[in-house]
Structure 1
Amino acid sequence: MEENTVVRPDPVGENPAADRSAPPIVPILILVVLIIMVGVNALANILPINNLTTGEVSDQLGNLFAPAGLTFSIWGLIYLLLAAFTVFQFFPPVSAEVAGRLKQVRLFFTLSSLANAAWIFCWHYLALEASLVLMLVIL
């Protein structure tokens, strides 16, 4: 004899994963922050900001610690992983531990992304002291 099993949706408040989810606006804000950071970095070289590309500013300052241009190709992978992190925000976390870690990482992601966008402007307008402070925030 087969048992008929009726699958019912969890009543409101009984789905532990849903209880751990961030408010719906949070993933959207994370996406906006990512777009701002990537957009400012792209425009820095497309426009360019202050009529200088990021590399031209570096060359103009003649610092002793400028890595080879190939080194900066890592940013493609970094942007890809940040985009994956952003997409991940739209799904409920699998556990309370993951939810807690996501909450912590979101704060650092937001701060570092906005600092990165601000750094581009400081760098392109040769505000070196502010640029250094923002680099420390990014780290």
Structure 2
Amino acid sequence: MNTAKSVSTARWGVLAFFVITILMNYLSQSVLFDGQTIGGVSDKYSTLITPAGYAFSIWGLIYLTLGAYVYYQTFQASPEYNIFDRIAPPLILNLIANSLWLVAFQSEYIALSALLMLVILATLIIITIQWVKDRALPTHLKVKVRIPFSLYLGWISVATIVNLSVLAKYTEWNVLGLSEPTWVVIMTTVGVALAVLILLATHDVVYPLVFVWAYIAIAVAQPESEHIRLAALGWAVVLLIIDAAYFIRQRQRKKVLA
């Protein structure tokens, strides 16, 4: 276990900003920023690609696993594993952007919230690249500590699509003259392509499962729109099959190489 003296300033910074982020999320649910809650603004700018409300409960799992990671990198991870120090700066920026997004979205600064969402996404991509490149951390340990970021990146990937759709609706921007249902079908297809790309590039089987969760929730939220419901459910099934097949194949390859 680490001693306080062996923990870098960057890791302590991650701990501090994580606590601030949790506090900001609590305030966004229990205190009215600018006279309204996150849920109220989300309902106000609801789009056909917005998942059903229950889907957002995934934030609880994200913060729970991320909290476990923060505890580990601060109090248990060996100073020899400098991957935690390399990840700290983009993670701190991510947590700051996360907190600012809450204020921007609740205050209906939709364009600013979309920009902050892109910052959150970009920092998570940087973190993921660092995990993929790292060769020092034992594989069994890397799998465990990557799970929070797999969940986080997966949900933020979906949230970015939703946030940009909200921005399009807010600015009354008719993308290429497409109807909103057509836009939803296209964006869910893009999401599937992204999920498969990340799966193949990083061997991360958790990431696509977040899309499956989100797509089912999109279908639930659109009971009267058959095209969207069928597209979302269809892609969810396709992703689940691809992910399961990839997982089984990887397990078989490991057995052969063992």
Do they superpose with TM above 0.5? yes
Distance 2:115 2:12 in 1: 28
**Higher relative contact order at CA 8 Å, sep ≥6: structure 1 or structure 2?**
1
CA contact (8 A) 2:7 2:79 kept: no
- CA change 1:90–1:122 in 2 (3 A) is same
Query: Which sections of structure 1, spanning at least 5 residues, go unmatched?
Result: 1-16
- For 2:65, the equivalent position in structure 1 comes to 81
- For 2:206, the equivalent position in structure 1 comes to none
CA displacement, residues 72-99 of structure 1 (integer Å, 9 cap, x when unaligned): 1111111111111111123353473xx2
Letter paired with 1:130: L
CA contact (8 A) 2:33 2:103 kept: yes
- For 2:85, the equivalent position in structure 1 comes to 103
Q: How is 1:27-38 mapped onto 2 (pairs within 5 angstroms)?
A: 27-38=11-22
- For 2:38, the equivalent position in structure 1 comes to 54
Letter paired with 2:58: I
CA contact (8 A) 1:37 1:116 kept: yes
- CA change 1:28–1:124 in 2 (3 A) is same
CA contact (8 A) 1:50 1:125 kept: yes
- More helix by proportion, 1 or 2? 2
Counterpart secondary structure, 1:62: coil
Query: Which sections of structure 2, spanning at least 5 residues, go unmatched?
Result: 122-258
Counterpart secondary structure, 1:90: helix
2:53 aligned to which of 69, 76, 86: 69
Distance 2:37 2:50 in 1: 15
- For 1:126, the equivalent position in structure 2 comes to 108
CA contact (8 A) 1:115 1:138 kept: yes
CA contact (8 A) 1:40 1:117 kept: yes
The share of aligned pairs that are identical, in percent, is 32
Q: Which of 1 and 2 has greater Rg?
A: 1
CA contact (8 A) 1:45 1:52 kept: no
CA contact (8 A) 2:36 2:106 kept: yes
Counterpart secondary structure, 1:89: helix
Deviates more, 1:29-38 or 1:117-126: 29-38
RMSD of Structure 2 on Structure 1 (CA): 2.0
Distance 2:20 2:97 in 1: 11
CA displacement, residues 77-126 of structure 1 (integer Å, 9 cap, x when unaligned): 11111111111123353473xx2211122122211111000000100111
Q: Quote the offset at 1:57 in angstroms.
A: 0.3
CA contact (8 A) 1:54 1:124 kept: yes
TM-score, normalised via structure 1 length: 0.75
Q: Quote the offset at 1:66 in angstroms.
A: 1.2
Q: Quote the offset at 1:68 in angstroms.
A: 0.7
Counterpart secondary structure, 1:49: coil
Distance 1:94 1:86 in 2: 13
